[in-house]
Structure 1
């Protein structure tokens, strides 16, 4: 990872960005959380060439070979009320998908709530964790993006990497890709909060984000199976995203608002 290529974009990323590049660590989210508890300000970015104990949702283990992807965590301190924070993983997924489309992957989209896909295959995962710090709650946004993984290195058969999808155009440089991703993520984040920072309640920013996310979300309009935290499965058609970021599923007993769960896109027979 060429740090100078990222810091050269500081004007795009904002003066408060602090970049920390680690050769290896257990988890970039854990490092960012530790820095947050020690008083780090919003804008800290922790990048690792390799992490040995990465985690996904539901404490699933997650690992990729060294220098084969982007492993990054961003420390945020939103000014919006915590009831709005469930939008953070959706916001991040939207930013990843938009970055990939602008990098030449037009089939990139977002799967509710926190995966980025190219076609039907997962190329990135997102984990947002809330951290209690001496100056208030903070959010650590973790992103793992498969860049140069070979078919043998993919964690599951339903995954992919940019190298496998790029074809003749080639794979973007990881440092340039990171700078583009951070610029898009922070721009989307600031727009989400802009009305609140100006003294309003943030509703307009949330509606802009909701509209943009709905356009990018490939889950909508699909038949899905949702594995709920209770252990039950909900079968139905994903119809919309509500004002709080929940997925609306039209099931056999009517419409259900899903706030958490693993979603499987059901392929037509």
Structure 2
């Protein structure tokens, strides 16, 4: 464990109290100079560390940033899959064009399952079908997670649903909001859309070599932070909760819920996940408009198929139609 994290853990253990430099050095097996350098490194990362010649150091405040030491403050590894070494490893960047693109490069270089790339800001974030995703600094969580599931490529849409279910559960737990999954890959609150998931594959027909789950989650925006064309459509957890939401804690629980559902899928298959999505769906039982490449038609969203397709009964009558890749919007009842 790096020296900076060791010093940070010791300062946090003091719960706002003073710790002398000598005590830090002695307990951690470091030199006084190494402690001083670690304190300065923490300050550069945004931590407010007070210093007193006679009393030592005190952690006055931690930044609201998804830094690895804030997301996972305990040294116990956070599990991802079933393999013993399958744990989350978080890499933080102040700015990236796209976390998905950066993680794809890492994956092709052999990055292990559970590698997470999170950026304070994306300059070229994107959603489904190449749509732009605004990713301003300090207001949301912009991240990508690398999985290497022993599954066929056709299961990719189900993995996107899995990530959306994990975000929904974390939002409910941390922000205490009524969050729902909108098919195929969004999370909604009553005020609008707060999250989108983008699953991208490196795969053969019979197996997935790597799946990158990109998550864009609006956390602390106010209504004025969104451009006019998104008014009434985009929302944030802060808007739903009526208070700011701590991003590092939220990310911790997003990843924990994602890991739990991923392990469940590997052991039990996707049916328990589909039952969860059915129970917390923003789409099922609602009138919808389906926009396909060659036609647009209304219907009623009735269920999810075992492969994750949305079953929509056309308003014109007939049997439910399995919808896979269309844009589906909810119509007023």
Q: Structure 1-normalised TM-score?
A: 0.89
2:20 corresponds in structure 1 to: none
2:305 corresponds in structure 1 to: 242
- CA–CA separation in structure 2 for the residues paired with 1:9 and 1:107: 29
**Pairing partner for 2:147 from 76, 86, 91:** 76
Moved more, 118-127 or 20-29: 118-127
In the alignment of these two chains, the number of paired residues is: 255
1:116 corresponds in structure 2 to: 187
**Pairing partner for 1:141 from 209, 213, 218:** 213
* Alignment check: 8 A CA contact 1:192 1:206 kept: yes
**Pairing partner for 2:278 from 188, 195, 214:** 214
Shift of 1:232: 1.3
2:73 corresponds in structure 1 to: 8
- CA–CA separation in structure 1 for the residues paired with 2:276 and 2:145: 22
- CA–CA separation in structure 1 for the residues paired with 2:70 and 2:201: 30
Q: Which of the two has greater strand per residue?
A: 1
**Pairing partner for 2:130 from 59, 66, 79:** 59
Unmatched 5+ stretches in structure 1: 195-203
1:153 corresponds in structure 2 to: 225
By relative contact order (CA 8 Å, sep 6+), the higher-ranking structure is 1
Shift of 1:253: 4.2
Q: Structure 2-normalised TM-score?
A: 0.73
Q: Tell which structure's C-alpha radius of gyration is larger.
A: 2
- Shift of the 136–38 alpha-carbon distance from structure 1 to 2, 3 Å rule, reads farther
* Alignment check: 8 A CA contact 2:125 2:135 kept: no
* Alignment check: 8 A CA contact 1:9 1:179 kept: no
Unmatched 5+ stretches in structure 2: 1-64, 80-84
Task: Map 1:146-225 to 2 at 5 A.
Answer: 146-155=218-227, 156-157=230-231, 158-167=233-242, 170-194=243-267, 204-225=268-289
Shift of 1:7: 2.5
Runs of 4+ in structure 1 deviating by more than 6 angstroms, as ranges, are none
